[in-house]
Structure 1
Amino acid sequence: MKKQIFKLLVKLNKLVLPSYYKKDPMKLSSFQKAILGFRYWALTNSLE
């Protein structure tokens, strides 16, 4: 059940949130880093 929720969250993230994979993480603003961290957290929980 938990894994399915996180997989749905990852799909939602792909549609709604911007992607920063080509940008240098050191040059991102704190808000952009928070979005990047949230996307990473959701992805790792969906894979477990």
Structure 2
Amino acid sequence: MYKILAKLNKLLLPSFTKQRLDVTKAKKWQKAILSYRYYVTIKSLD
């Protein structure tokens, strides 16, 4: 299930690393997306 979510995240959600987003200056919604993508990625690797 998490592997499918990870693929959907890659297609649908913006990539902040390609935009060179500074995490310390990120807005709350950007941090929420980053943490969600991190969580799904870690779970899909298990």
The alignment's TM-score, normalised by the length of structure 1, stands at: 0.86
In the alignment, which of 14, 17, 25 is matched to residue 10 of structure 2? Answer: 14
| Structure 1 position 30, deviation (Å) | 0.4
Structure 2 unaligned residues grouped into runs of 5+: none
Percent of residue pairs bearing the same amino acid type? 48
RMSD: 0.6
Runs of 4+ in 1 over 3 A off after TM superposition: none
Q: How many pairs were matched up?
A: 44
Report which of the two structures shows the higher radius of gyration computed on alpha carbons. Answer: 1
Q: Which amino acid aligns with 1:14?
A: K
1:1-48, CA deviations, whole angstroms, 9 ceiling, x for partnerless residues? Answer: xxxx00000000011100111211011100000000000000000001
Task: Indicate the structure with greater helix content.
Answer: 1
Find the aligned partners of 2:14 and 2:25 in 1 and give their Cα distance. 16
- Provide the TM-score with structure 2 as the length reference: 0.89
